[in-house]
């Protein structure tokens, strides 16, 4: 029984980091004409109304996209991301937030394909409804995204980006995400992989980045954004990280500009900080 609903979290600081990088990756990849496959192992509902009860419960977006929305000093490295959110909020009021699949469909071209996996029946139904008129360009598959990734790699065009974005409500997700990346790289070594993980006070979260580096991918980048000091009672999300395999050469510079800004604007106390490291051949 899954209880996670991304609508609670849509537009929070973790979505801001993940989606800003996703926009950068898609923007880079679409520069080449050849068809691109976008695979989302854990897709969620694709779109979120921020004034609905689910999103308002904790108003997590208020300390995420909400803090960036009205700012006039957003750096160029984040302009593409803000632009994708703006295109859903044309009148200037922040009411809708795009999920990863919505960002992808906004940015991709007719020749590109989206392969979306979602296990939760409610999210899956919303996702199918959202993309009801987009087959065969978009295929939504109910079921496990870790297994699903195997079924779509390598993509026929041999160009692809896979977002591995579990909810980690099941602690086995840490090992499964790592295994999915490792298996993906065996099937499709030149693919671009974007793996998200939560920064929480649990061993699996703290060990994941080092464990991913031990896979020794040829090209990788790790970025982490901490927005506050860990809570004294030991619970809660105080940051998030991304591990990117085969990032474009432009990503380190984009993040070198964006991260100090995100720390300043999204930081909630003196514990706010970022880490950025990469090895690109
Ligand atoms: C973090 S949310 C996805 C957010 C989305 N990728 C985005 O960035 O907008 C994770 C989603 O994975 C779904 N989920 C959980 N376990 C899954 C599994 N094994 N396979 C596919 N989906 C799963 C949850 O129902 C939830 O909707």
pLDDT digits (tens, 9 = 90+) for 21-47: 999 999 999 999 999 999 999 999 989
**Smallest Cα–Cα separation from 208: which of 173, 255, 162?**
173
Tokens 């795009």 belong to 98
Provide the pLDDT for residue 52.
75
**Smallest Cα–Cα separation from 13: which of 209, 194, 224, 205?**
224
Residue nearest to atom 17 of ligand 1 (CA): 119
Q: Which two tokens stand for residue 80?
A: 């593409």
The single residue of 40, 112, 165, 173 carrying the catalytic annotation is 165
For residue 120 and ligand 1, the question of a CB distance below 6 A is answered with yes
The helix, strand and coil proportions of the chain, stated in percent and rounded to the nearest 5, come to 40, 20, 40
Return d(Cα 206, Cα 198) in angstroms, integer: 9
* Cis check: omega of the bond before 80, within 30 degrees of 0: no
pLDDT digits (tens, 9 = 90+) for 70-121: 999 999 999 999 999 999 999 999 999 999 999 999 999 999 999 999 999 9
140 Cα: distance to centroid of ligand 1 (angstroms): 13
Provide the pLDDT for residue 5.
79
Return d(Cα 219, Cα 221) in angstroms, integer: 7
1, pLDDT greater than 50: no
**Smallest Cα–Cα separation from 159: which of 281, 252, 33?**
33
Report the atom number in ligand 1 closest to the C-alpha of 22: 8
Query: What percent of the chain stands above pLDDT 70?
Result: 97
For residue 178 and ligand 1, the question of a CB distance below 6 A is answered with no
What mean pLDDT value characterizes the chain?
95
149 Cα: distance to centroid of ligand 1 (angstroms): 13
Pairs from 255-262 (Cβ < 8 Å, separation ≥ 24)? 255/21, 255/77, 255/221, 255/223, 257/75, 257/76, 257/77, 258/20, 258/75, 258/77, 258/78, 259/223, 259/225, 261/73, 261/74, 261/75, 261/77, 261/78, 262/13, 262/16, 262/17, 262/20, 262/78, 262/225
Provide the pLDDT for residue 51.
84
Sheet with 138-142, strands from edge to edge, namely 138-142, 113-118, 37-40, 160-164, 192-199, 239-245, 220-226, 273-279
**Count of CB atoms within 10 A of residue 280's CB?**
13
Which of 4-18, 67-81, 235-249 is the least confident region? 4-18
Tell me the pTM: 0.97
* Residue 7 per-residue DSSP state: G
Residue nearest to atom 25 of ligand 1 (CA): 120
Give alpha helix (H) positions in 39-93.
53-56, 65-69, 76-86
**Smallest Cα–Cα separation from 14: which of 167, 161, 156?**
167
For residue 165 and ligand 1, the question of a CB distance below 6 A is answered with yes
* Residue 51 per-residue DSSP state: T
Residue 134 among the catalytic residues: no
130 Cα: distance to centroid of ligand 1 (angstroms): 16
Please name the helix (run of DSSP H) or strand (run of DSSP E) that holds residue 138, with its range, or none: strand 138-142
Pocket-testing residue among 23, 25, 43, ligand 1, by greatest number of atoms within 8 A of Cβ: 43
């Amino acid at each position: 029984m899954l209880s996670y609903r991304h609508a609670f979290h849509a537009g929070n600081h973790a979505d801001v980091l993940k989606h800003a990088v996703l926009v950068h990756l898609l923007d880079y990849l679409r520069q080449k004409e050849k068809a691109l496959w976008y695979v989302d192992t854990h897709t969620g509902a694709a779109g979120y109304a921020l004034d609905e009860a689910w999103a308002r419960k904790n108003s997590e977006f208020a300390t995420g996209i909400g803090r960036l929305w009205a700012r006039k000093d957003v750096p160029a490295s984040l302009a593409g991301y803000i632009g994708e959110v703006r295109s859903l909020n044309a009148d200037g009021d922040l009411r809708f937030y795009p999920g990863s699949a919505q960002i992808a469909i906004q940015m991709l071209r007719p020749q590109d394909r989206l392969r979306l996996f979602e296990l939760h029946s409610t999210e899956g139904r919303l996702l199918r409804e959202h993309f009801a008129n987009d087959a065969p360009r978009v295929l939504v598959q109910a079921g496990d995204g870790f297994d699903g990734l195997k079924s779509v790699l390598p993509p026929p065009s041999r160009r692809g980006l896979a977002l591995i974005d579990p909810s980690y409500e099941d602690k086995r997700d840490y090992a499964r995400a790592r295994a999915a990346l490792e298996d993906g790289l065996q099937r499709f070594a030149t693919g671009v992989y974007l793996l998200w993980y939560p920064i929480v006070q649990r061993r699996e979260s703290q060990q994941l980045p080092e464990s991913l580096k031990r896979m020794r991918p040829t090209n990788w980048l790790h970025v982490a954004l901490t927005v506050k000091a860990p809570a004294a009672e030991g619970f809660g999300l105080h940051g998030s990280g991304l591990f990117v395999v085969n990032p474009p050469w432009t990503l380190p510079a984009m993040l070198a500009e964006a991260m100090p800004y995100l720390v300043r604007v999204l930081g909630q106390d003196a514990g706010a900080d970022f880490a950025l490291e990469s090895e690109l051949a």
